[in-house]
Amino acid sequence: CHTSGMLTPNGKEYAQKIPREELTHLILKLLQAWKEPLSHFNQHHQELPDDSLSKAKQISNMVHELKTGVEKSMGIISNALNGMTSSEAAGLSISNEANMMSDSDFIHCFRRDSNKVQSYLKILKCRIMPENSC
């Protein structure tokens, strides 16, 4: 996966040890890293049946919204802006890589990264608002 280079906690303890901001930053980085490959995927796979295409589009929208939502809720737009430049650069190279992936790998990597993002967000949520079904 093109995001394999990112250093992400791969266990509960590691994820809990990371400070909040860093975790949030990680999430955003992940989401950012998938923005381009997803749109690229949608562009280049018009041959898919309609419902698959719409699903893919829906997914990339969701990723985008999730990213925006996280940014807003964490109030780190400024940081994101800062990080953007660097990550954009990284993202470009990464996305080049992503474009090379086979479809199955693409989907496999996306599945994993989305699971990562979900887990990190949940940990964040329970850290910030523990009373909410945690």
Partner 1 sequence: MRQKSTSSPQIILLLALTAVGLTGQSYPGKPKIIRCRSLEKETFSCWWKPGSDGGLPTNYTLFYSRDSEEEIYECPDYRTSGPNSCYFDTNHTTPWTTYNITVMATNEIGSNSSDPQYVDVTSIVQPDAPVNLSLETKTSANTMYLWAKWSPPPLADASSNSHVYHYELQLKPEEKEEWETISVGVQTQYKVIRLQAGMKYVVRVRCMLDLGEWSEWSSERRIQIPNGESPPEKPTIIKCRSPEKETFTCWWKPGSDGGHPTNYTLLYSKEGEEQVYECPDYRTAGPNSCYFDKKHTSFWTIYNITVRATNEMGSNFSDPHYVDVTYIVQPDPPVNVTLELKKPMNRKPYLVLTWSPPPLADVRSGWLTLEYELRLKPEEGEEWETIFVGQQTQYKMFSLNPGKKYIVQIHCKPDHHGSWSEWSSEKYIQIPTDFRVKDMVVWIVVGVLSSLICLIMSWTMVLKGYRMIAVILPPVPGPKIKGIDTHLLETGKSEELLSALGCHGFPPTSDCEELLIEYLEVEDSEDQQLMPSHDSSHPSKNTKMIPKETDSDSGRGSCDSPSLLSEKCRECRTLPSTLQRQDVRDVQENKGGKTSWETQCIASEQKILLFNNETAKSSTWPAAQLPNNQPPMFAYHSTVDAHKITLNTANVNIAPVLVGNEEKRQSQYPVTETVHNDTEKEREMENLHSKTDQTTAQVKQNRPNDKSPFLNPKLMDYVEVHKVRQDEQAVLLKHKENSGKTEKYTVPGTSKEYTKVSTVVDHNIIVLMPDSCIQHTSVSQEPAMETSPNLQQGQAEKNMSYCLTAPSECKRETSGSEYMDPSSFMPSFK
Rounded to whole angstroms, the Cα distance separating 58 from 70 reads: 18
Q: Which residues contact 71 (CB under 8 A, 6 or more apart)?
A: 28, 77, 80
Closer residue to partner 1 (CB): 25 or 80:
25
Q: Which residues contact 99 (CB under 8 A, 6 or more apart)?
A: 37, 40
Query: What is the total residue count of the chain?
Result: 134
Closest contact distance (angstroms) between CB of 25 and partner 1 is 18
Closer residue to partner 1 (CB): 38 or 117:
117
Nearest to 29 by CA among 99, 120, 127: 120
Interface residue list for partner 1 (CB under 8 A): 4, 8, 10-13, 15-16, 112, 115-116, 118-119, 122-127, 130, 133-134
Closest contact distance (angstroms) between CB of 43 and partner 1 is 27
Closest contact distance (angstroms) between CB of 5 and partner 1 is 10
Closest contact distance (angstroms) between CB of 38 and partner 1 is 19
Closer residue to partner 1 (CB): 15 or 28:
15
Closer residue to partner 1 (CB): 82 or 119:
119
Rounded to whole angstroms, the Cα distance separating 34 from 87 reads: 11
